[in-house]
Amino acid sequence: MDPLNETWGQFAGTELTNSSAPGGVAFDASMVVIPSIYALVCCLGVLGNAMVIYVILGYAKMKTATNIYILNLAVADELFMLSVPFVATSAALRHWPFGALMCRLVLSVDGINMFTSIYCLTVLSVDRYIAVVHPVKAASYRRPSVAKTINVLVWVLSLLVILPIVIFADTVRTPEGAVVCNLLWPGTGWSKVFVLYTFLLGFLLPALAMFLCYCLIVAKMRSVALRAGWLQRRRSEKRITRMVMLVVVVFAACWVPFYVVQMVNVFLCPPDPTLSQLVIVLSYANSSANPILYGFVSDN
């Protein structure tokens, strides 16, 4: 298969080396270690996000605008974890045994939840900006009904953004006889365009928006910190803002390596397969890290 078409298959852990043929796979430690890490990430992610969803839905006092955004992020992370068993199996077998339909479904679910996660974090950052910088106007915009509507719009936007994945995801058999789940582009230049497209819409632009929000938040906090009683009155907002900022930083730490490897793959040369697998695992690990961050930072 044309290496330029092997862009997003790494997203599903299906990239192959020349020795990766069914029945003739050369064993190496990564075939055990990587799936084991996937299993750990999946267990932590499923349990942790399920607890977040249960707490927010189960307690009336938790249904604030901010928590509804966090609920949406937890749902996206939980769905993201559902594809991990398929990815882990593919990584262990070094081929895709689940057929073309599951290939399209898994890649599409991965894509929509990846974009939903970053857009949820962007919305959370804007929510923090409104709460801290414009506290008087916040009551008008930070209502649970508004948050629910925005969450729906986030999912619709994510679905529109990942339409190329839905259209072009398919399986193909390599010369070595292995089945690969990948995005099969109609032309050689499409893969480069798609990587730039996902990087801009799925990382860079949302990251710039979040960076701007937190710059304005920090400036506001510094300008009013000396006012008598402000810290006492706004302590809760400050704590929530710190939690969201930490979640954003961890998200960046988990996803920047993924995008770097994608860029190297299409613009320079294919990276080491083990390195590719590790950055994929790291991107999945973000979805299991968020509930842990909530537990350490938030009193609730």
User: What was the pLDDT predicted at 93?
Assistant: 82
Model confidence at 28, in pLDDT bands (50, 70, 90)? low
Quick check: 34 pLDDT over 80?
A: no
Q: What is the pLDDT of residues 128-167, one digit of tens each?
A: 888 888 877 777 778 888 999 999 999 999 999 999 999 9
3-state secondary structure of 27: coil
Q: Which fold has domain 8-294?
A: Rhopdopsin 7-helix transmembrane proteins (1.20.1070)
Q: Mean pLDDT over residues 48-75, rounded?
A: 86
3-state secondary structure of 29: coil
3-state secondary structure of 146: helix
Average pLDDT over the chain reads: 80
User: What was the pLDDT predicted at 131?
Assistant: 83
User: What was the pLDDT predicted at 20?
Assistant: 41
Model confidence at 24, in pLDDT bands (50, 70, 90)? very low
User: What was the pLDDT predicted at 230?
Assistant: 53
Percent of the chain scored above 70 by pLDDT?
82
d(CA 27, CA 184): 28
Q: Mean pLDDT over residues 267-286, rounded?
A: 79
Ordered by start, the domain boundaries in the chain are: 8-294
pTM reported for the whole predicted model: 0.81
More reliable by pLDDT, 256 or 291: 256
Instruction: Give the residue from 89, 52, 67 showing the smallest Cα distance to 287.
Output: 52
Quick check: 117 pLDDT over 60?
A: yes
d(CA 256, CA 262): 10
Q: DSSP labels for 52-71?
A: HHHHHHH-GGG-SHHHHHHH
More reliable by pLDDT, 79 or 298: 79
Q: What is the pLDDT of residues 221-262, one digit of tens each?
A: 777 655 545 555 566 666 777 777 788 888 888 888 888 888
